[in-house]
Amino acid sequence: MTVQKKKVRKVTPKPAVTTHGVDHGHESRVDEMSEYDATYPEESAPYVRPSSLDAPPVQEGMTQRWVRQSLFGKADPKNLNRAWREGWRPRLAETLTEEWRIYANFADKDDGRIVVDDLLLMEIDSRVLAKRKKSLEQQTAQQMQAVEHDLESAQIAGHPIFKEHQTSVTYPGTRVQPRQVADDE
């Protein structure tokens, strides 16, 4: 009787992927990151700190700003009246797109004003604002001429009054050097 030997097939296990002799249990760091990216997709927009005074886009030809309508819980009609006399008018909710209407709290559903806390969104025609600025600059120039005239009148012969004009602008953390202004400017 002859005994037949069974062929034994040798199965060698596949080596695990290792890095520097350490088995991580995964194929590579790239595969791990791909899995992470699939689970936590990157946000499309960067984080922007929320503001309690976000305002809708300005209408063409207009300038807008927030105007205080109350102070410490008490109405401030003096401030609103001053703004009204300057030409500022409340921005109405009907001028907003639907996207912005959800952010507006209306002081009164009938008049549709845009209010955030104690502030009312108001707007003015940009041309009116430019005329106002020009008028204030002219008024300031006239006042400076009057002061200089008074200084010249008060001078004693042979003893002129020395006047030095300087302009400086300060920003937090920086200082802009004063600019010397000649007397004839």
Reported pTM: 0.53
Greater model confidence, 68 or 48 = 68
Calpha distance 173→66 (Å, rounded): 27
Closest-CA residue to 57 (of 127, 111, 121): 121
Per residue in 113-163, pLDDT (tens digit) is: 888 778 888 999 999 999 999 999 999 999 999 988 888 888 877 777 777
Distances (CA, A) of 59 to 6, 26, 70, 93: 91, 57, 26, 12
Per residue in 75-90, pLDDT (tens digit) is: 999 999 999 999 999 9
